[in-house]
């Protein structure tokens, strides 16, 4: 529970993820009546990448990278090559690819 609500950054990250999931669920449920998909996709791109930044700060990814480069500080929550970091990178990549593909997609 400390990982999700242990500090301000972790609590904000958790709340932002819940809001993102609710927004996606609402968009799926009301997809027939949505006219401006481009705006929704732009919002999801920006909001998703902000969540990635908050999650990286929560996990201490900057400290992990600095530790791997010069060892001047203690590593963050996860090692540099770990399942959570790889999943986070893949998620960020999917967000960017999706946002790039959306303008070219036709209904």
pLDDT in tens, 14-67: 999 999 999 989 998 998 998 888 888 888 888 988 988 888 888 888 888 888
Residues counted in the chain: 107
The 8-class DSSP code of residue 60 comes to T
pTM for this prediction: 0.74
Among candidate residues 15, 22, 61, 12, the one with its CA nearest the CA of residue 44: 22
Q: Could you tell me if 80 and 65 are in contact, meaning their C-beta atoms sit under 8 angstroms apart? A: yes
């Amino acid at each position: 529970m400390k990982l999700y609500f242990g500090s301000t950054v972790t609590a904000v990250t958790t709340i932002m993820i819940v809001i993102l999931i609710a927004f996606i669920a609402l968009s799926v449920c009301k997809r027939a009546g949505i006219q401006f998909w481009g705006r929704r996709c732009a919002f999801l791109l920006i909001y998703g990448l902000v969540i990635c930044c908050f999650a990286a700060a929560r996990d201490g990814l900057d400290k992990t990278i600095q530790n791997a480069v010069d060892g001047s500080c203690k590593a963050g929550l996860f090692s540099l090559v770990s399942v959570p970091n790889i999943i986070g990178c893949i998620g960020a990549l999917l967000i960017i690819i999706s946002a790039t593909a959306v303008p070219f997609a036709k209904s």
